[in-house]
Structure 1
Amino acid sequence: MGLTESNNADDQQIKDRLEQLRCHFTWKLLFEDSEMPDLENRILDEMEFLDTKYNVGIHNILAYVKHLNGQNEEALECLKNAEDLIQKEQTDYLDMRSLVTWGNYAWVYYHMGRLAEAQTYLDKVENACKKFANLFCYTDCPWMDCEEGWALMKCGRKNYLRAKACFEKALEMDPDNPEFSVGYAIIIYRLDCLNRIIQNSDYAQSLHPLRQAIRLNPEDSYLKVLLALKLQDLGEEDEGEKYIDEALSSQFSQTYVFRYAAKFYRKRGNLEKALQLLKQAVRNTPASAFLHHQIGLCYRAQALQIKSAAKMQPRGQDRENVNRLLKSAIFHFKFAVDQKPTFEIAYLHLASMYGEAGNHQEAEDIFQKMLHMTPREEETLQELYLFYGRFQEFQKKSEATAIAYYLKAIKLEQPSFTRDKVITSLERLALKKFRRNPSDLETLSLLGFAYKLKGELKEALEYYERALRLAADLENSTEHGP
């Protein structure tokens, strides 16, 4: 065998072993290239401002991101930081805690063409597994499951169900492990937020995991604000505010506490307090898409308050204030989507604000861009059709197009808050048309359909019968006409 053939054989042998590893390079983390800048910013913000004992994983995911950006030397530095943190831990299983880091080292060295170093770290992984063969096998190590869970969670919603399975597997082996408990509570909370399926009792499934994680990590202010938001969702706002107060009085993770406490106050209607906290947080993390989106939501809500007080017809100083608030909301929503191009709900809010401000072409351009994008989750499509329907109804004054998009949203049968809002919008628009013309066949049918969807069958039957009588009268008049 010649030298080149020998080198190729070594390369292939190392590659085969690398692919057997469990680390960031083999976990098939799903995120789009356009998400990379926001992902890196979120990782760096977390490293600087989230006070946690569990930072090994965040250095590993940053190493992977650095590699994807072609910065392998920086990736090695991140892995060195992860390794240093592991060495400070008080545990008998330092080698097992190092497996993911060593696996990432091996992959980075391989991509740099430094096969000897890659081989060294492959051997370290293999020797550690042999050493603990009587306690763990390589595929059944809870710390690796936990670190895979953190990595999947950090890379976005497409990975959440897999992340949940990882934390569940880790907890099966060590039910009272504080780190596993934190990861599990956070991912279940995020799934709760993502699902928003009010008909399903699992909507509250994060309540117990959050309480358990706080019991095991009593100083964790970040967990307390998440529990407060969950209690607020469930109508236990007073208890939730106690956790908010506890978190705000702590010095831990203040930037993260501010952002979620602000969300709590915004949902409670205390917009000034929410904005105060968000502005404090954004000073530390100025590139946060999440924070800019939340600030935009506050300005949007303030504009709506003024319009509602003026019966939707603000004039004079009120009109000027509304315009100023809409302009501010647009600025922050636009910043959020520029920072995170996959931030779909921020795009919808940006489009709706352009519509509110009278910039109909900008709104239409965003809506059309989203309507022609690749298929997405049903709930996101429902939101898109609802927002576009409202834009057509209120800004473009096209009731027929609005109804068409409300019906598109309803055809997606995923139960959700959004679908309920669509049904309410359809009913409201149909009633408005009915008051103008009680003898319109389409309007009567729409009202019957809306009440049927709401489960109000008596009212649905009443409007369907009126529609049938009207159709019969129209047919008779046609038959007996001149």
Structure 2
Amino acid sequence: ISRVRKSETLKTLLLQLNCHFTWRLLEKNAEIDELEERLHNQLEYLLNANKYMVYNLLSYIKYLQGNYEEAIANLDEAEKSSLANAAGVKSKLLVTYSNYAWVYYHLKQYDKSQLYIDKVNGVHEELSHISNAKDSLPEIYGEQGWSMLKFGRKHYEKAKECFEKALKEAPKDPELNSGYATAVYRLECLEKKSLDENCESLDLLKRAVELNPNDSVVKALLGLTLQDLKRADEGLKYIEEALEQTPNLPYVLRYVAKFYRREGMTDKALGVLKRAVSLIPNSSFHHHQIGLCYRNKMHEKKKLSRTDPQNKRTYTREIQELLQKSIFHFKMTVELKKTHTYGYTDLAQMYTEANQIVKAEEMYKKAFNVKTITEQEKQQIHFYYGNFELKAKKCEKEAIKHYKEALLIPVMTFEKEKCENALEWIAERKIKQNPRDAFGFGLLGFVHQIKKNKIDAVECYEKALKLEPHNEEYLSHLCELRLAI
């Protein structure tokens, strides 16, 4: 009984600790193995003093995998790394000691767990004489923010909050400023909005680069942001500086290549990506970017073949080669990262180009089955699947279904507008062919309703109901709109 009581008492103390076990990182769908691989790559290529954070997170991953021995081994490395680089900053050990306490608790080694709880309290006691900030240590919030960023997009908002809290205590800390700028940049990328001069990440990235001129990754992100803002000449300076600083850092090479590709410098982008793949052969990101480059080159050749029909045979051969290369790299993308939704849709489009309709459809279905799928991604897949049904399978009914599904998702993306246009085009074509087509008017009513053009929507549904008086769907929409007006 006393052992059970001891376990319960310990659990109460453990829940008060600030570490990976209390940060609610665990998700059933988190790509643990893929994350583990990325962290091992970071240990190899990142040379900054924050390796202890990588070991701490690796330890937590090993716990999630049920490998407690490896979890302890990684915490040993984290402790060594902290002591070697912290130069007397004991607060950097707090997360490591807290993680130790949790792992030993799960191993039912309660005395050792208590020992590490005591160590955490000891460090806090020491620090309380210097500062009153027991619960607002910037190192802890910084490490939490960093871990949230690594654990995936669902945690980006929380990561941003953590860095904000840390910066209140240490506003000029270079690493914290880099982390905060990165979190905001990633959130903006997720929202997929077209950026304007007021975009939040621009000033944050500039500040991070000023405070930390050696951080080539943040420099590359600044370059990409300036490119998004149609200031590519300015962005190129940062991109080339980042590349010069760390010519063999895969995390910089990926962003440099993205910049070159989007600027139409496809061969330059491919050169950089091939170097990145030679360093990290199993990066789904790099393979996806290579696939996009070959796809761009294929489209360029297609344009040339239309303007230069005399060399059509040569172009046809080159187009086929580029198509196969693109398919190869998109396949690698989804094999290496099973949750890469854009990898599936890009591969599906290439299979459609190759007239492999069954394989293309299979990829769209796989994309929908990704467990970590976002609303934006769902909308995008519905759009491309709709196009596929309309153009490749000549099935207008299924295409309409996908376009409508996309419009019912309450997020704003470029694809949403495309779906609206596609449905409007189908509806107007139907009405032109047959002015008594109730379905055409009903479809146009739906598009107006989505666009919040209530008066136009009512008019269309009324016309549809005149032609098909017992249609419950039109009646329901009409009632809803009239009440709203």
Provide the rounded CA distance (Å) in 1 between the counterparts of 2:324 and 2:198. 35
| 2:32 match | 36
Provide the rounded CA distance (Å) in 1 between the counterparts of 2:461 and 2:313. 45
* Structure 1 letter corresponding to 2:176: F
Provide the rounded CA distance (Å) in 2 between the counterparts of 1:373 and 1:246. 37
| 1:171 match | 167
* Deviation at residue 453 of structure 1 after TM alignment: 7.3
Of 22, 43, 59, the residue aligned with 1:47 is 43
| 2:209 match | 214
| 1:294 match | 289
| 1:479 match | none
Asked if the contact 1:195–1:203 (Cα under 8 Å) also holds between the matched residues in 2, the reply is no
Asked if the contact 2:86–2:92 (Cα under 8 Å) also holds between the matched residues in 1, the reply is no
Q: Deviations over 1:427-451 (max 9, x none)?
A: 56667x4798485856677678768
Match runs of 1:431-446 below 5 Å: 433=429, 437=433, 441=437
Asked if the contact 1:228–1:243 (Cα under 8 Å) also holds between the matched residues in 2, the reply is yes
Provide the rounded CA distance (Å) in 2 between the counterparts of 1:370 and 1:84. 42
| 2:399 match | 402
Q: Deviations over 1:56-104 (max 9, x none)?
A: 2112111111222233232223222222222233555x22111001111
Of 92, 97, 100, the residue aligned with 1:97 is 92
Asked if the contact 1:263–1:294 (Cα under 8 Å) also holds between the matched residues in 2, the reply is yes
In the alignment, does 2:330 pair up with 1:333? yes
* Structure 1 letter corresponding to 2:225: K
In the alignment, does 2:405 pair up with 1:412? no
| 1:277 match | 272
98 and 396 in structure 1: CA distance in 2 versus 1, 3 angstrom threshold: same
Asked if the contact 1:185–1:206 (Cα under 8 Å) also holds between the matched residues in 2, the reply is yes
Of 108, 111, 115, the residue aligned with 2:110 is 115
| 1:388 match | 385
Match runs of 1:14-33 below 5 Å: 14-32=10-28
Q: Deviations over 1:158-209 (max 9, x none)?
A: 11111111001111111111111111011111111101133x8698211111
Provide the rounded CA distance (Å) in 2 between the counterparts of 1:373 and 1:35. 11
Provide the rounded CA distance (Å) in 2 between the counterparts of 1:96 and 1:251. 30
Provide the rounded CA distance (Å) in 2 between the counterparts of 1:467 and 1:316. 52
Provide the rounded CA distance (Å) in 1 between the counterparts of 2:5 and 2:449. 68
Of 82, 100, 121, the residue aligned with 1:126 is 121
* Structure 2 letter corresponding to 1:270: M
Asked if the contact 1:296–1:328 (Cα under 8 Å) also holds between the matched residues in 2, the reply is yes
Provide the rounded CA distance (Å) in 1 between the counterparts of 2:450 and 2:29. 40
Asked if the contact 2:220–2:242 (Cα under 8 Å) also holds between the matched residues in 1, the reply is yes
Asked if the contact 1:220–1:252 (Cα under 8 Å) also holds between the matched residues in 2, the reply is no
Provide the rounded CA distance (Å) in 1 between the counterparts of 2:342 and 2:335. 13
In structure 2, the residue corresponding to 1:139 is in which secondary structure? coil
| 1:480 match | none
228 and 424 in structure 1: CA distance in 2 versus 1, 3 angstrom threshold: farther
* Deviation at residue 125 of structure 1 after TM alignment: 0.2
Q: Which has the larger displacement, 183-192 or 315-324? A: 315-324
427 and 304 in structure 1: CA distance in 2 versus 1, 3 angstrom threshold: farther
Q: Which has the larger displacement, 303-312 or 322-331? A: 303-312
Q: Which has the larger displacement, 442-451 or 298-307? A: 442-451
Provide the rounded CA distance (Å) in 2 between the counterparts of 1:73 and 1:234. 49
* Deviation at residue 129 of structure 1 after TM alignment: 1.4
Asked if the contact 2:341–2:373 (Cα under 8 Å) also holds between the matched residues in 1, the reply is no
In structure 1, the residue corresponding to 2:21 is in which secondary structure? coil
| 1:478 match | none
97 and 443 in structure 1: CA distance in 2 versus 1, 3 angstrom threshold: same
Of 154, 157, 160, the residue aligned with 1:158 is 154
Provide the rounded CA distance (Å) in 1 between the counterparts of 2:431 and 2:48. 59
Provide the rounded CA distance (Å) in 2 between the counterparts of 1:354 and 1:280. 27
Provide the rounded CA distance (Å) in 1 between the counterparts of 2:270 and 2:371. 35
* Structure 2 letter corresponding to 1:164: K
Q: Deviations over 1:80-138 (max 9, x none)?
A: 2222222233555x221110011111122222333332222111001111222352444
44 and 373 in structure 1: CA distance in 2 versus 1, 3 angstrom threshold: closer
* Deviation at residue 154 of structure 1 after TM alignment: 0.2
| 1:363 match | 360
Q: Deviations over 1:268-319 (max 9, x none)?
A: 1121111111110011111111111111111222222223444599963333
In structure 1, the residue corresponding to 2:115 is in which secondary structure? helix
In structure 2, the residue corresponding to 1:25 is in which secondary structure? helix
| 2:101 match | 106
* Structure 2 letter corresponding to 1:179: E
* TM-score, scaled relative to structure 1: 0.86
Percent of aligned pairs sharing the same letter:
37
* Deviation at residue 229 of structure 1 after TM alignment: 0.6
Asked if the contact 1:59–1:81 (Cα under 8 Å) also holds between the matched residues in 2, the reply is yes
Of 373, 378, 382, the residue aligned with 2:375 is 378
Q: Which has the larger displacement, 404-413 or 259-268? A: 404-413
Provide the rounded CA distance (Å) in 1 between the counterparts of 2:352 and 2:216. 39
Asked if the contact 1:266–1:298 (Cα under 8 Å) also holds between the matched residues in 2, the reply is yes
* Deviation at residue 342 of structure 1 after TM alignment: 1.7
* Deviation at residue 390 of structure 1 after TM alignment: 1.2
* Structure 2 letter corresponding to 1:75: A
Asked if the contact 1:439–1:470 (Cα under 8 Å) also holds between the matched residues in 2, the reply is no
Provide the rounded CA distance (Å) in 2 between the counterparts of 1:471 and 1:368. 35
* Deviation at residue 28 of structure 1 after TM alignment: 1.0
Of 239, 243, 257, the residue aligned with 1:248 is 243
In structure 1, the residue corresponding to 2:128 is in which secondary structure? coil
Asked if the contact 1:222–1:257 (Cα under 8 Å) also holds between the matched residues in 2, the reply is yes
What is the number of equivalent residue pairs in this alignment?
Answer: 464
374 and 84 in structure 1: CA distance in 2 versus 1, 3 angstrom threshold: closer
* Deviation at residue 144 of structure 1 after TM alignment: 0.6
Provide the rounded CA distance (Å) in 1 between the counterparts of 2:465 and 2:70. 73
Provide the rounded CA distance (Å) in 2 between the counterparts of 1:474 and 1:87. 78
Q: Deviations over 1:323-355 (max 9, x none)?
A: 322222222222222222222221222222222
* Structure 2 letter corresponding to 1:347: Y
Provide the rounded CA distance (Å) in 2 between the counterparts of 1:310 and 1:390. 24
| 1:71 match | 67
Consecutive unaligned residues in structure 2, runs of 5 or more: 470-485
Provide the rounded CA distance (Å) in 2 between the counterparts of 1:58 and 1:375. 23
* TM-score, scaled relative to structure 2: 0.85
Tell me: higher relative CO, structure 1 or 2? Use CA pairs within 8 A at least 6 residues apart: 1
Provide the rounded CA distance (Å) in 2 between the counterparts of 1:111 and 1:369. 37
Asked if the contact 1:296–1:329 (Cα under 8 Å) also holds between the matched residues in 2, the reply is yes
Asked if the contact 2:202–2:225 (Cα under 8 Å) also holds between the matched residues in 1, the reply is yes
* Structure 1 letter corresponding to 2:269: A
